[in-house]
Structure 1
């Protein structure tokens, strides 16, 4: 039986490595840029709840963006209690992009707080051509806005980049690259970017969407209760006939710290069961799958199975591009089974708790 399982793990990892749209590669970067003759107008919408501590590191990077067309920044204070609005106003940059700070009040029944804030920002933006939806913990390097718009000029309705996440602590270095790896396994970027597939996904920290495409999709209201709002938005846009693109960032960074395992645990657990549509059957299948795919190879390899050892090495090899992207040791992939075990426990923990974020539960 052990030999059969070992061969099965090797077959699974061979299939994942060669037949799952090269999910493990990190070469999906911004498509060819097209500089438009007339640059479209853009409103940057930032929902923020209790982000006074991070805004000094992120908001100025947007206010200082140089853009050839009309652009403005709208920060929507989602019921903060830490003075987020005042901090934001104090960060206004002379000769920078115009800044509006507003608040929509508490969300109505059926809305998440973040999406209610985003919808308010979209209304405040008025009749602009594009909306850049970005989080309060995202910093943009110079030229980020111009590059995103140029990438959309060839007809794409939504362009999203997976922001480079922080990896300063031990737990961040262990958990964060694996998070990106698992996300790409679930939503292979090449499939998202290909018209031949119906896979739809986005990375919520940086989403540039054409306003007309958003309106065709029904607006933010059509996803008003979504906890995993980035994927829901991408699905809505593609369902309305829009073209989307998702890739790895080079000019967009997430600066939120997750110094302890407990912080990362909370980040994953708050939405993992939602990703499984709150289905006990999907939860059971996910747990079994994680054990069979990630944990079985090293366990069987320790019993002397060369097939399982080969599967473990193949698993580690597929992790190399993500490790390089995050400047981690190339042998980090050998720890992927341990990290997968942690993610499995986080997913189980997610099933026992209510979804919540910053004082709100859904």
Structure 2
């Protein structure tokens, strides 16, 4: 048995395990659970952190203000130091007959806080005694009944956190290539069914649309408990679940991102700014991820071609089966995004791009550029003691800039 055949066989075994034992991650039928209208609709505050979002706000904020929610609700947009008139534009979108809108600005975040979480903390404070908080990004548009459906799901199923992964744009060629794979990889890393299971260690949320009970957030330590976390949504879900709360994550039907990513460079930045943070800034995890991506996604097409050219059926056959499993598991996500099944064969190429994005994310961190977003750069948060909250910041080395 050739070395190539052994490697191809290991890749096939990996795909058999992923397909059958990784929480059925590839299925796209995880939608809002069964729900009914509650006897009393609780008060909700919709908190929107926004930094330089004048381009997308006219497409997203009106959908929040026009929510058909039977109970008391209001929108709080927190202008995080924008320089493009985001706050003024938001005020101009308010109108009679829509949900009340408050626009506030907390000023620059103190050391140890990311800008988004500092803005969220301010918005949560302004929400007062609202029973639920809908944390949603400024580029997310909601269907008219989105809020009511989220609250009904939380109340009917006694959930402390309900999150939907917004449907991202797939209008340009690069969006069509990168975006479905982005959600597919996320689900592979955090299988939704496993995350939704009480008591399971896996916990995740999607920051674009997260409804959380205020009491559950307070019990978990509030926004301050994750103040330095770049990947705030996953860390929030972990906190809530660790404190005994019930969380739920699934794909959206009425929640869509309106942010365009027309070029590869913009999508590259979206992924690379947090990829190394996702790996906890660990070199061993980075090495394992690179080897794992290569073995699982790159070996099947390479081994198939090499095996056919060399007449090595022992390599070509398992490689072909592995590539087929890869394509079959990717097909449901392509269907969710309305893409043709044939595009599943391109997943190895897309995975290769993600491998390079992950390496680039680590290189940027090593160069002191960290997770950069809209003029701010964040270093690696770490726990300084065993009981420190998630995202507790570590001081920057002498001569290095502190996070904005």
User: Alpha-carbon deviation of 1:203?
Assistant: 0.3
Selected match of 2:16 from 14, 26, 36: 14
In 2, the alpha carbon distance for the partners of 1:115 and 1:34 equals: 32
- Structure 1 residues 16-67: Cα deviation after superposition (integer angstroms, max 9, x where no partner): 1111110000010000113111100000000000001111000000000011
In 2, the alpha carbon distance for the partners of 1:281 and 1:5 equals: 21
The aligned counterpart of 1:235 is: 238
Selected match of 1:274 from 277, 283, 286: 277
The aligned counterpart of 1:355 is: 371
Give yes or no for the alignment of 1:168 onto 2:171. Answer: yes
The aligned counterpart of 1:26 is: 28
- Structure 1 residues 246-304: Cα deviation after superposition (integer angstroms, max 9, x where no partner): 00000000010000000000000000000011111111111011001100010001122
Give yes or no for the alignment of 1:314 onto 2:329. Answer: no
In 1, the alpha carbon distance for the partners of 2:176 and 2:73 equals: 36
Instruction: Summarize the alignment of residues 80-95 of structure 1 with structure 2, pairs less than 5 Å apart.
Output: 80-95=82-97
In 2, the alpha carbon distance for the partners of 1:168 and 1:21 equals: 30
In 2, the alpha carbon distance for the partners of 1:225 and 1:93 equals: 36
Selected match of 2:249 from 239, 246, 250: 246
Q: How many residues align?
A: 362
The aligned counterpart of 1:56 is: 58
Selected match of 1:205 from 194, 203, 208: 208
Q: Give SS of 1:123's match.
A: helix
In 2, the alpha carbon distance for the partners of 1:58 and 1:189 equals: 26
Contact 1:200/1:238 (CA < 8 Å) preserved in 2?
yes
Selected match of 1:345 from 353, 356, 378: 356
In our comparison, the structure showing a higher alpha carbon Rg is 2
In 2, the alpha carbon distance for the partners of 1:197 and 1:296 equals: 32
- Structure 1 residues 74-120: Cα deviation after superposition (integer angstroms, max 9, x where no partner): 00000000000100000003210000000000001100000000000
Instruction: Summarize the alignment of residues 94-133 of structure 1 with structure 2, pairs less than 5 Å apart.
Output: 94-133=96-135
The aligned counterpart of 2:39 is: 37
Give yes or no for the alignment of 1:151 onto 2:133. Answer: no
In 2, the alpha carbon distance for the partners of 1:199 and 1:332 equals: 30
Give yes or no for the alignment of 1:217 onto 2:220. Answer: yes
The aligned counterpart of 2:144 is: 142
User: Alpha-carbon deviation of 1:6?
Assistant: 1.6
Selected match of 1:335 from 330, 335, 346: 346
In 1, the alpha carbon distance for the partners of 2:323 and 2:212 equals: 40
In 1, the alpha carbon distance for the partners of 2:200 and 2:227 equals: 26
Q: Give SS of 2:255's match.
A: strand
User: Alpha-carbon deviation of 1:307?
Assistant: 1.1
Selected match of 1:291 from 289, 294, 300: 294
In 2, the alpha carbon distance for the partners of 1:261 and 1:95 equals: 41
Q: Give SS of 2:253's match.
A: strand
State the TM-score, normalizing by the size of structure 2.
Answer: 0.89
In 1, the alpha carbon distance for the partners of 2:220 and 2:319 equals: 46
The aligned counterpart of 2:386 is: none
State the TM-score, normalizing by the size of structure 1.
Answer: 0.99
In 1, the alpha carbon distance for the partners of 2:85 and 2:286 equals: 40
User: Alpha-carbon deviation of 1:196?
Assistant: 4.5
